[in-house]
Structure 1
Amino acid sequence: MTTQQHPAPTAVQPTQAAGQPRIMLQFIGMGLIWGASFLFMKVALTGVSFGQVAWSRIMLGALTLAIVALVTRARLPRQPIIWLHFTVIAITFCVVPYLLFAWAEQYISSSLASILNAVTPITTAVMATLVFRVEKLNWGQILGVLVGMGGVIVIVAPWQMGALLGDWRGQVACLGAVTCYGFALGYLRRFLGPYKVPSITSAFMYISIAAVVMLILTPVVASQPVQLDLWVILSLIGLGALGTGVVYIWNMNVLTAWGPTATSGVTYVTPVVGVLLGSLLLQESLSWHEPVGAVLVFVGILLTQQRIRLGRRVRA
Structure 2
Amino acid sequence: MKLTYAAFILLGLLWGSNFIYMKWAAELITPAQITLLRVFFGFLPLAFVAWRKGVIERRQLRHIWHFLVMAALATALYYFAIAKGTALIPSGVAGVLGGSIALFTTLASLLFLRSEKLNGLMAIGVLFGFVGIVLIARPWQGADRAIDMAGVSWMLAATAILGFSYVYVRRFLSPHNLPPLALATWQTGLALLLLLLVTDRSGMGRIIEDWHAAAGVAIGLGVFGTGIAFLIYYFLLRELGAVAASGATYITPVVALLIGRAVGEPLGILEVGAVVLILGSIAMLQIGRLRSSRAPERHP
Matched, 1:154 2:122: no
Gap regions ≥5 residues in structure 1: 1-19, 311-316
Amino acid at match of 2:203: Q
SS of aligned partner of 2:15? helix
Matched, 1:96 2:77: yes
Change (3 A) 1:262 1:182: farther
Number of the residue aligned with 1:275: 257
- Residues in 1 aligned to 2:49 and 2:11: alpha-carbon distance in whole angstroms: 18
Change (3 A) 1:190 1:265: farther
Number of the residue aligned with 1:247: 229
- Residues in 1 aligned to 2:167 and 2:236: alpha-carbon distance in whole angstroms: 14
Matched, 1:40 2:12: no
- Residues in 1 aligned to 2:202 and 2:176: alpha-carbon distance in whole angstroms: 38
Number of the residue aligned with 2:202: 223
Number of the residue aligned with 2:35: 54
- Residues in 1 aligned to 2:80 and 2:212: alpha-carbon distance in whole angstroms: 21
Any idea what the Cα deviations from partners look like across 1:196-246, whole Å, max 9, x if unmatched? 222321221111011111111123xx3235421221221012111111212
- Which range moved further: 165-174 or 110-119? 165-174
Change (3 A) 1:203 1:172: same
- Residues in 2 aligned to 1:29 and 1:128: alpha-carbon distance in whole angstroms: 28
TM-score, with structure 1 as normaliser: 0.82
- The number of equivalent residue pairs is 287
Change (3 A) 1:251 1:308: closer
- Residues in 1 aligned to 2:98 and 2:220: alpha-carbon distance in whole angstroms: 18
1:163-202 correspondence runs (5 A): 167-202=148-183
Number of the residue aligned with 1:313: none
Number of the residue aligned with 1:258: 241
Aligned-residue offset at 1:134: 4.5
Match for residue 284 of structure 2 among 303, 307, 313: 303
Q: Give the fraction of aligned pairs with identical amino acids, expressed as a percent.
A: 32
Any idea what the Cα deviations from partners look like across 1:74-99, whole Å, max 9, x if unmatched? 33252445222222221222111211
Which has the larger helix fraction? Answer: 2
1:98-117 correspondence runs (5 A): 98-117=79-98
Change (3 A) 1:121 1:24: farther
Amino acid at match of 1:102: A
Change (3 A) 1:207 1:29: same
Gap regions ≥5 residues in structure 2: 292-300
Aligned-residue offset at 1:162: 3.7
- Residues in 2 aligned to 1:176 and 1:90: alpha-carbon distance in whole angstroms: 16
- Residues in 2 aligned to 1:249 and 1:90: alpha-carbon distance in whole angstroms: 17
Aligned-residue offset at 1:145: 0.9
1:55-134 correspondence runs (5 A): 55-134=36-115
- Residues in 2 aligned to 1:186 and 1:25: alpha-carbon distance in whole angstroms: 30
TM-score, with structure 2 as normaliser: 0.86
Aligned-residue offset at 1:24: 5.0
